[in-house]
Structure 1
Amino acid sequence: MRKQLVAYGMSLAAGTAALQWLDYQRLVRSHAGDIYVFLIAIAFLALGVYLGARVFGKSGHVVIDGNPRALEALGISPRELDVLREIAAGRSNKEIAARLNVSPNTVKTHIARLFEKLGAKRRTDAINRARELGIVS
């Protein structure tokens, strides 16, 4: 009895697969032009993405070397430059202190000296001035 059920199930599955294959063949024949247009569109889309990534993927951003002349003229020390970069990254005094392994008071001192050297009253002024001079990106 079990073998008969399995054989009957297999024959039904084969018949269903054959009907699905015939339906697929009818679909392909009746809509062949649409399928070709779809495949060509996909090929052009892939080509466009590839070429776009090659042409526009390399951004022309300028590598900022810290403008050694401006650093020297303003008298900004390497540690003050580190603090300035951290400020430009949007970090708070506590975060800067933790990243540079110094106390928050030391960070405040560096920031005060940077404000004096850059002629700034706020962090945003200092960052804008440093960007104008090419000190930070």
Structure 2
Amino acid sequence: MKRHVLLFGLVGGVLIAILQYTEYRFVVIEHSVEMYTALVALLFATFGIWLGLRITRSRETIRERVVVREVLVPADTLALEPFVPNAAQQQTLGITARELEILTLIARGLSNREIAEQLFVSENTVKTHCARTFDKLGAARRTQAVQRGKELGLLP
């Protein structure tokens, strides 16, 4: 009787081992494509989350730095009388009063949006006036237009 129990136990163990091996083979070998796909998807999802967190954290840590410098102007250079633009140059170049007004606001450092708000016009109107003024002054950028306006006596 002990022999039969031992034999049945041994046969049962071998059968269980065969079943485990076939189950392993079925899961790993037969479904390997699905397993690798899931693994790759998991890796990409993890990388995407990590990258997203890193990008959003870096944007939060960027702070705007404003540098304020005090510029001393000698008292003798301060004009007591208001500046009058050179009308002859203005007429020669064909710059209108509105274009000169916008050029003055550009010289003060205002953006197109700020100029539009101050003059109660659209931002596109300001862009049009800027483009025409730049063409008349032969300037490609705002700083060139301001410099040229000062050279011609249109700006203080």
- TM-score normalised by length of structure 2: 0.49
Q: Which is higher, the Rg of structure 1 or of structure 2? A: 2
**Within-5 A mapping of 1:2-81:** 57-59=75-77, 61=79, 64-81=83-100
Residue deviations 1:15-66 (CA, integer Å, cap 9, x gap): xxxxxxxxxxxxxxxxxxxxxxxxxxxxxxxxxxxxxxxxx74545485311
| Cα pair distance change 1:115/1:59, threshold 3 Å | closer
Residue 111 of structure 1 and its aligned partner are, at CA, apart by: 0.3
Distance 1:57 1:81 in 2: 27
Task: Work out the number of aligned pairs and report it.
Answer: 82
Higher RCO (CA-CA < 8 Å; seq separation 6+): 1
Q: Identify the match of residue 145 of structure 2 among 91, 101, 126.
A: 126
Write out per-residue CA displacement over residues 88-128 of structure 1, whole angstroms, 9 at most, x where no aligned residue: 00000000000011000000000000010000000000000
RMSD of Structure 2 on Structure 1 (CA): 1.7
Choose which of 90, 94, 116 in structure 1 pairs with 2:113.
94
Match of 1:136, SS? Answer: coil
Does the CA contact (< 8 Å) of 1:94 and 1:104 recur in 2?
Answer: yes
CA distance in 1: counterparts of 2:100 and 2:128, whole angstroms: 13
**Aligned partners of 2:130 and 2:117: how far apart in 1?**
15
**Equivalent position of 2:21 in the other structure:** none
Query: What amino acid sits opposite 2:129 in the alignment?
Result: H
Rounded Cα–Cα distance in structure 1 between residues aligned with 2:129 and 2:75? 38
Kindly, what percent of the aligned residue pairs are identical? 49
Contact 1:67 1:134 in 2 (8 A): yes
Matching residue of 2:47: none
Segments of 5+ residues of structure 1 without an aligned counterpart are 1-55
Q: Which residue of 2 aligns with 1:18?
A: none
Residues 64-83 of structure 1: per-residue CA shift (max 9 Å, x gap): 31100000000000110110
The 3 A distance-change label for structure 1 pair 78 and 58 is: same
Name the TM-score, length of structure 1 as normaliser. Answer: 0.56
The structure carrying a bigger helix percent of its residues is 1
Residues in 2 aligned to 1:104 and 1:114: alpha-carbon distance in whole angstroms: 15
